[in-house]
């Protein structure tokens, strides 16, 4: 509750324009347009943004959502967002051709992933980095890449987020020698 009343500070290189129900956040890396619902009204005072709600108590969840979306947009246009994935497996590799990422992860065919506008890929060794100004889109594309070959629980092979821990399962125990006769 306390963070909802705290204004969002805008850095000097970030510019915010409020046009009716749209808020345009521009910075050195690009610009994002954030549609604001009619229940909320963004207020821009010098280098601070606050939101005033026009409705009743049930709109409080919208208030928290738009504070977070605005903070993410301001951070995104200033310094950008990135998510790193690592490929673990023999022969797993990735290559970039323009805005297309091609994954070779054990299938009989390569898997292409095309980057939407504002998203870029970087490949080094067995790591893939997804970069962009829109936090939602960066996470969505990273999840799409991970979904191609998610880590399996026995050996841990697959594509995972950097630093993600995979709970491994114990394999099947060896069959006992001997046993009851006739069975």
- Domains of the chain, start order: 8-79 (3.90.930.12), 81-161 (3.90.930.12)
Structure tokens given for 165: 């821990």
Percent of the chain with pLDDT strictly greater than 70: 90
The pLDDT-based confidence of 173 (bands split at 50, 70, 90) is confident
pTM of the model: 0.84
The C-alpha atoms of residue 96 and residue 49 are separated, in whole angstroms, by 39
Assign 56 a pLDDT band (cuts: 50, 70, 90). Answer: low
Cβ atoms of 132 and 81 within 8 Å: the answer is yes
Q: Are 169 and 153 in contact (CB under 8 A)?
A: yes
Of the pLDDT bands very low, low, confident and very high (cuts 50, 70, 90), residue 7 is: confident
Residues 69, 23: contact at Cβ < 8 Å? Answer: no
């Amino acid at each position: 509750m306390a963070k909802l009343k705290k204004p969002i500070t805008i850095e000097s290189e970030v510019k915010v324009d409020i046009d009716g129900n749209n808020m345009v956040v521009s910075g050195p890396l690009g610009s994002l347009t954030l549609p604001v619902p009619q229940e909320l009204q963004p207020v821009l005072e010098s280098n601070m943004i606050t939101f005033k709600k026009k409705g009743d108590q049930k709109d409080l969840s919208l208030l928290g959502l738009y504070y977070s979306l605005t903070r993410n947009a301001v951070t995104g246009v200033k310094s950008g967002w990135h998510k790193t994935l690592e490929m673990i497996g023999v022969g797993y590799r990735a290559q970039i051709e323009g805005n297309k990422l091609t994954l070779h992860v054990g299938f009989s065919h390569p898997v292409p992933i095309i980057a939407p506008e504002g998203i870029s890929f970087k490949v080094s060794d067995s790591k893939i980095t997804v970069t962009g100004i829109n936090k939602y889109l960066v996470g969505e594309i990273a999840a799409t890449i991970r979904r191609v070959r998610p880590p399996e629980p026995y050996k841990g092979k697959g594509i995972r987020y950097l630093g993600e821990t995979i709970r491994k399962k114990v394999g099947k125990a060896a069959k006992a020698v001997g046993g009851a006769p006739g069975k």
